[in-house]
Amino acid sequence: MNKYLITIVLVFSLSGLSSQEIITGLPENQLAKKAWQKKNKAAQDLARSSVLHEWIPVKLPFFDDFRDYLGYPDTSLWLNDEAWINVDFPKRAANLGAATMDAIDARGRIYSNASIFPFLADRLTSRPIRLDSVFNPVPAAITPADSVYLSFFYQPQGRADEPEENDSLVLQFGRYGQDSTFSHIDSISIPVSAYIGPNDTIFPGDTLFSPCDTEWGMAVFDTLYHTDTVMLPCDSVYFPSINWKTIWSVPGMPLDTFLARNGVHFKQVMIPITDTAYLKPDFFFRFYNLASLSTIPSWKSNCDQWNIDYVYLNLGRSAADTIYRDIGFVERSPSMLRNYEMMPYDQYVNNPTNAIKDTFKLYISNLDDNTFNTLYKYRLSDGDSFERTYDGGSCNLLPFSQEQYQSCEICPQHACPPWKFLFPLNASPETARFKIEHILLGDFTSADTISDTMTYFQEFRNFYAYDDGSPEAGYGLEPAGAMLAYKFELNRPDTLRAIQMFFNKVVNEANDMYFDLAVWQDNNGIPGEMIYIQENEKPRFGSGIYEYQTYKLDSAVPVFNVFYVGWIQSEGKNLNVGYDTYNNAGAHTFYNVIGNWQQSLGEGALMIRPLLGEEIVSGVNELQANEASLRIYPNPVSGEEIFIEIPGKAVNRINAELQIYNMFGQLVHKEGYREKINISPLGKGMYIVRLHDKETGKVFTGKLIKSN
Helix (H) or strand (E) holding 415: helix 412-415
pLDDT at 7: 30
pLDDT at 6: 32
Amino acid, single-letter form, for residue 451: S
In this structure, of 32-46, 326-340, 594-608, the range with the lowest mean pLDDT score is: 32-46
More confident residue, 704 or 464: 464
pTM for this entry = 0.71
Over 90: is that where the pLDDT of 336 sits?
yes
Q: Do domains 464-606 and 623-706 have the same CATH topology?
A: no
- Cross-strand partners of 426: none
What digits encode the pLDDT tens for the residues 527-545? 999 999 998 899 998 766 6
pLDDT at 550: 94
Q: Are strands 16-24 and 5-11 parallel, antiparallel or unpaired?
A: antiparallel
Over 50: is that where the pLDDT of 37 sits?
no
What digits encode the pLDDT tens for the residues 415-446? 999 999 999 876 456 678 999 999 999 877 77
Most confident of the ranges 1-10, 560-569, 638-647: 560-569
Over 90: is that where the pLDDT of 180 sits?
no
Work out the average pLDDT over 567-579: 88
In this structure, of 327-341, 420-434, 535-549, 639-653, the range with the lowest mean pLDDT score is: 639-653
In this structure, of 48-62, 99-113, 119-133, 609-623, the range with the lowest mean pLDDT score is: 609-623
525: Cβ–Cβ under 8 A, 6 or more apart, which residues? none
Q: Return the DSSP state at 613.
A: -
More confident residue, 360 or 70: 360
More confident residue, 238 or 8: 238
Helix (H) or strand (E) holding 46: helix 41-54
- Cross-strand partners of 423: none
Over 70: is that where the pLDDT of 8 sits?
no
**Would residue 12 be called left, alpha or beta, if left means φ above 0 and alpha means ψ between -120 and 50 degrees?**
beta
pLDDT at 272: 97
More confident residue, 349 or 187: 349
DSSP string of 234-284, one letter each residue: EEEEEEEEEEEEEEEEE----HHHHHHHHSSSSEEEEEEE--GGGSSTTBE
Work out the average pLDDT over 681-691: 83
329 vs 389: CA distance, rounded Å: 19
Cβ(456)–Cβ(332) below 8 Å? yes
414 vs 417: CA distance, rounded Å: 5
What digits encode the pLDDT tens for the residues 14-29? 222 234 676 666 555 5
Work out the average pLDDT over 486-513: 88
pLDDT at 54: 41
Cβ(402)–Cβ(441) below 8 Å? no
645 vs 167: CA distance, rounded Å: 63
Banded model confidence at residue 111, pLDDT cuts 50, 70, 90:
confident
In this structure, of 175-189, 360-374, 557-571, 599-613, the range with the lowest mean pLDDT score is: 175-189
In this structure, of 65-79, 340-354, 644-658, the range with the lowest mean pLDDT score is: 644-658
Q: What is the architecture, at CATH level 2, of domain 623-706?
A: Sandwich (2.60)
Q: What is the architecture, at CATH level 2, of domain 464-606?
A: Sandwich (2.60)
Over 50: is that where the pLDDT of 619 sits?
no
pLDDT at 10: 27
CA distances from 544 to 30, 37, 108, 475, 611 (A): 8, 11, 13, 21, 20
351 vs 538: CA distance, rounded Å: 36
161 vs 67: CA distance, rounded Å: 23
Over 70: is that where the pLDDT of 62 sits?
yes
What digits encode the pLDDT tens for the residues 443-476? 777 777 899 999 999 999 999 999 999 888 889 9
Half-sphere exposure of 211 (CA within 13 A, CB side): 9
Q: What is the architecture, at CATH level 2, of domain 30-179+240-314?
A: Sandwich (2.60)
End-to-end CA distance of the chain: 66
Banded model confidence at residue 98, pLDDT cuts 50, 70, 90:
very high
Runs of H (alpha helix) within 138-252: none
pLDDT at 155: 98
Half-sphere exposure of 571 (CA within 13 A, CB side): 14
What digits encode the pLDDT tens for the residues 197-224? 888 888 877 777 777 766 667 777 678 8
| Per-domain residue ranges of the chain | 30-179+240-314, 356-419+438-455, 464-606, 623-706
Q: Are strands 16-24 and 473-478 parallel, antiparallel or unpaired?
A: antiparallel
317 vs 324: CA distance, rounded Å: 12
* CA pseudo-torsion sign 178, 183, 189, 194: positive
Over 90: is that where the pLDDT of 622 sits?
no
Banded model confidence at residue 651, pLDDT cuts 50, 70, 90:
low
Work out the average pLDDT over 154-183: 87
Cβ(211)–Cβ(217) below 8 Å? no
